Amino acid sequence: MTIILDPTSESAPEFRAPLPRPASLDDMTVGLLDISKPRGDVFIDRLEDLLGQRGVATKRYKKPTFARVAPIELKQQIVTECDLVIESLAD
């Protein structure tokens, strides 16, 4: 029997289940995060309209640059002000 050593971080199970989807958006605040990619604001604008028509409260955020992870302060601000966040990832 061959023994080999695990080359991974050994920190995660093989499959990680995503968080459950919310049953409704009632009384929730949805964060809209623009990652600073060109035309990301177009997508976020439309989402803001659609959510507003449904009476859902929204707040907007923007990363300083798409190339780097969001600053801790921004992440903490979103966590404290919102229940959910939608991030526009693509150009």
Partner 1 sequence: MGLTLVVKEECATCQWLLPLFEKLQAEHNVSIYSQDNPDFPQGLDVLDDRELAYSWRMNIEIVPTLIATHDGADERRAVGWVRSEWEAVIGASLDFDGPDFRPGCGSLTQDPGMPEKLAARYDADKLKSRKLSLGNEEDEIEACFERGWSDGLPLVPPTEQRVLQMLTGIKRSPDEVIGMVPPDLAECNIEKAAINAVMAGCKPEYMPVLVTAIEAALQDEFCMHGLLATTYFSGPMILVNGPISRAIGMNARGNVLGQGNRANATIGRALQLVIRNVGGGKPGGVDRSVFGNPGKYTFCFAEDETNSCWESLAVEKGFPKDASTVTLFAADGMQGIVDQRSRSPESLSKTYAAALRVVGHPKMAMAADAFLIISPEHERVFKLAGWSKQQVKTHILELLTIKGESLITGAGGIAEGIPEVFADSDIPKFRDGGFNIVRAGGSAGMFSAVIAGWGASGQMGSVPVTRQIPAETILG
Q: Where along the sequence are the contacts to partner 1 (CB under 8 A)?
A: 1-12, 65-69, 91
Q: Name the residue nearer to partner 1 (CB basis): 34 or 48.
A: 34
CB of 8 to partner 1, least distance (A): 5
CB of 50 to partner 1, least distance (A): 25
CB of 25 to partner 1, least distance (A): 28
Burial of 7 (0-12, 13-18, 19+ CB in 10 A): exposed
Burial of 44 (0-12, 13-18, 19+ CB in 10 A): buried
Q: Name the residue nearer to partner 1 (CB basis): 3 or 17.
A: 3
Our CA dihedral for 17, 50, 89, 19, rounded to 10 degrees, sits at: -10
